[in-house]
Amino acid sequence: MSDRIFDAAGLQGVLARLRQNAPRIHCLTNPVAQTFTANVLLALGAVPSMTLSVDEVAGFAASADGLLVNLGMLEPERRAAIPLAVDAARQAGKPIVLDPVFVQRSPSRCALAREILAGGVSLLKSNREEMDVLFPDRDGAQRLAKQETALVVTGAEDDIVYSGRQVRLANGSPLLAQVTATGCALGAVLAACLAVEPDPLIAAASGVSIFNIAAELAADRSRGPGSLVPELLDALYLLNEGDLQRHLGVVHAGDILDRRTL
């Protein structure tokens, strides 16, 4: 194992490039999450766009620096817009993040997620329950590796897997689960990091770390979920090298620990 696969110095570099380059991320996310997601991107120095009109979504996705596809709500217009945006982003060579929210509760949603994955995405962000439904034979990480898709599996500890390597992180706050759309916003942060970092493993680990370290700082300053949101936006905006060095919680960085756990 090399401790240089992912460390605070690399993380700081990704954050600096994100702020310098101001990537525009087109977010096809659920309406409950739109405002918070946009504000999270803005706090980091990125630029959000969110149209889902079938007349213009392909142009927005192709000209953006990254695309987030969040399946949290699939109204007819959003359902029609998703394949148009995904196809346009693929043709333009832009990174695509898929967040298959609640695929375990909807067969049609699960089928759509599998269809998108079959065509190839840059990163799949999922919790373990969603992974079990998408890949019931539990070889999801191996399949994704063959099509060069990075995998982020969120939980008490977060696992990032790409190209035979794994980073396991232990940052975040329980208060995140008490505020809607925090997971959705993380997907947008991951897309922003992919837009400025060529190594998907480093990009994904950086996105998770940036968001979760800011959440820890925000939780220390807040009194509960109501005050967490403004504190989190401020923490993302003010995040600095010292914060990253003091708080980064790398449990493992090296070869995949155990394929059966993914």
Tell me whether residue 35 is in a domain: yes
Query: What is the residue range of 252's domain?
Result: 8-261
Q: Give Cβ neighbours of residue 91 (< 8 Å, ≥ 6 apart).
A: 62
Tell me whether residue 3 is in a domain: no
CA distance 229 to 224: 9
Structure confidence at residue 4 (pLDDT): 65
Structure confidence at residue 2 (pLDDT): 41
Query: What is the share, in percent, of the chain residues with pLDDT greater than 90?
Result: 89
- State pLDDT tens for residues 79-134: 999 999 999 999 999 999 999 999 999 999 999 999 999 999 999 999 999 999 99
Element (H, E) at 255: strand 250-255
Structure confidence at residue 259 (pLDDT): 65
Domain count, the chain: 1
Query: What is the share, in percent, of the chain residues with pLDDT greater than 70?
Result: 94
Report residue 148's pLDDT band, with 50, 70 and 90 as the boundaries: confident
**CATH number, position 95:** 3.40.1190.20
* 139 compared with 251, residue with greater pLDDT: 251
Would the annotation count 214 as a binding residue?
no
Taking Cα atoms as reference points, which of 207, 212, 258, 214 lies closest to residue 240? 214
Q: What is the average pLDDT across 141-153?
A: 82
Tell me whether residue 1 is in a domain: no
Would the annotation count 118 as a binding residue?
no
Beta strand 158-162 with 150-154 is: antiparallel
CA distance 242 to 27: 30
Residue 251 in 3-state DSSP? strand
For residue 174, give both structure tokens: 């329980």
Structure confidence at residue 1 (pLDDT): 34
For residue 115, give both structure tokens: 């269809």
Question: What ranges make up the beta strands (E) of 42-157?
Answer: 47-49, 66-70, 96-99, 123-127, 150-154
Would the annotation count 181 as a binding residue?
yes
Enter the DSSP assignment of 74.
Answer: -
Would the annotation count 131 as a binding residue?
no
Q: What is the average pLDDT across 12-30?
A: 97
For residue 55, pLDDT over 80 is answered with yes
For residue 186, give both structure tokens: 């993380």
Mean pLDDT of the chain: 94
Residue 159 in 3-state DSSP? strand
- State pLDDT tens for residues 206-236: 999 999 999 999 999 999 999 999 999 999 9
Instruction: Tell me the C-alpha to C-alpha distance, in Å, between residue 238 and each of 19, 177, 244.
Output: 11, 22, 11
